[in-house]
Structure 1
């Protein structure tokens, strides 16, 4: 193996380790735990951790000896922002919607077979959501925001996502292929996802897709609230406000943002 091949092979290991640290408890993880999670030897994990510590991406608690992501890693992530600066583009809309509706507003973005919470503006009512806080990830098709994105993907992409995600959405207990496809058609007809599935007791939500200039769903604006606040009488108002903001955002999305514009290119790799 050449030096360049060795270096290339180390990159996936480093990212696997970073992801494991990101999923670890806030206090951190031991080398043995990390090695088990990423499927590498303890010696290899220790060597990679030392390299990441040298760059400031990882730190070790001097007392517990546990490893966790370092401050420099978060600083770098903050400077990187997000693809196409979508978060900055949508932030004013989230604040307007939160102020007008008094509910929590989420911005979800397509990432392969998942939807990721890119931003949220907190309302006064305590809620639970599928994606959780910023950075939370959920399978496309689960929850209103992820369903809104899935429903408005191009047909070929939508079918591939359905095939891949069907076993994942079944884990929630009420989904089968007929149900999923029925929901998708309903969302495409109405232009929004707003049916209460009952998966989160006492919670309700509604979401609309954000379409780019080609009509491709790349993100969604979603309202999360308690069930009593999303009555049939209030729903049209909420949907109208969401659609107005989404329609204003769509044409402004960066046309050369590869992450948002061409997610289908990553599907095959994610499935293997």
Structure 2
């Protein structure tokens, strides 16, 4: 006879089957989920490789990430479909897309500029019957962080939240560039310039002279250089250390902003900038 200690309990075999089944299920789940996790990790690695770079070729992305060419290309195409990556056929370079900018615009920095500026932008839009903007300079581009329309005035749609404007057009792009270090200005002036309208400045020497004037006077009026018949007035906002943190601007019909070649509402814009500067200082 077998001793008692050699006889398995009645449910041991069933328990063993259940454990085996659970183990197989876990293995199957792991196999099914691992490729997705790996793909996500690789996609994030690709996105991070663009830090500090305006664009990269496929070979440059492959080198930066250590991924093989086929995998890199497939992931870039997938992210292009979702708007996270753009491709320039002329230069064969990939760039971060508008989806990234839209997400970045929702991220609070050291101080949440958008939250602090929104009431000020609302007042500007309502009082002046125009569209008010908050923007920052980032990696050679001026990015719109917030845009507020007045329901009774003209709605300017040329600059969406998360989007950028050419550095030589509009009010805020030229204003923010004018306060950059000389080396940065020189680098930007070597780039090709877009002529959004016949009024857009595309000559580097002329633009440099205008940037010098903007920095000296502390504001800029852009007339008809993004869209004919529309103008923009922009003023700088400094942080607690005196550095340029952002720009506040309004855009509308040219007669709303210009009279005899001079800007209307400049005092109102400077007061709005001063209020945002006060909020920035008290947030330190």
Question: What secondary structure, in the 3-state scheme, does the structure 1 residue paired with 2:111 have?
Answer: helix
Gaps of 5+ in 2: 1-40, 51-57, 63-67, 85-99
Are the aligned partners of 1:84 and 1:254 in contact in 2 as well (CA < 8 Å)? no
Are the aligned partners of 1:206 and 1:224 in contact in 2 as well (CA < 8 Å)? yes
Larger Rg: 2
Output the CA distance in 2 between the equivalents of 1:79 and 1:119.
10
Gaps of 5+ in 1: 1-7, 18-34, 51-57, 59-65, 258-272
Higher RCO structure, 1 or 2 (CA under 8 Å, sep 6+) = 1
Question: What secondary structure, in the 3-state scheme, does the structure 2 residue paired with 1:92 have?
Answer: helix
1:252 maps onto 2:279 in alignment: yes
> Could you tell me the TM-score, scaled by structure 2's length?
0.61
Q: 1:139 to 1:178 in 2, by over 3 A?
A: same
**Counterpart mapping for 1:63-212 below 5 A:** 67-68=81-82, 80-123=107-150, 124-129=153-158, 132-153=159-180, 157=181, 159-168=182-191, 170-172=193-195, 174-196=201-223, 198-212=225-239
Report what 1:55 is aligned to.
none
Aligned-residue offset at 1:78 = 7.8
Q: What is the CA RMSD across the aligned residues, in angstroms?
A: 4.0
* Richer in helix (by share): 1
> Could you tell me the TM-score, scaled by structure 1's length?
0.63
Aligned-residue offset at 1:167 = 3.3
Q: How many residues align?
A: 213
Output the CA distance in 1 between the equivalents of 2:231 and 2:257.
7
Aligned-residue offset at 1:225 = 0.8
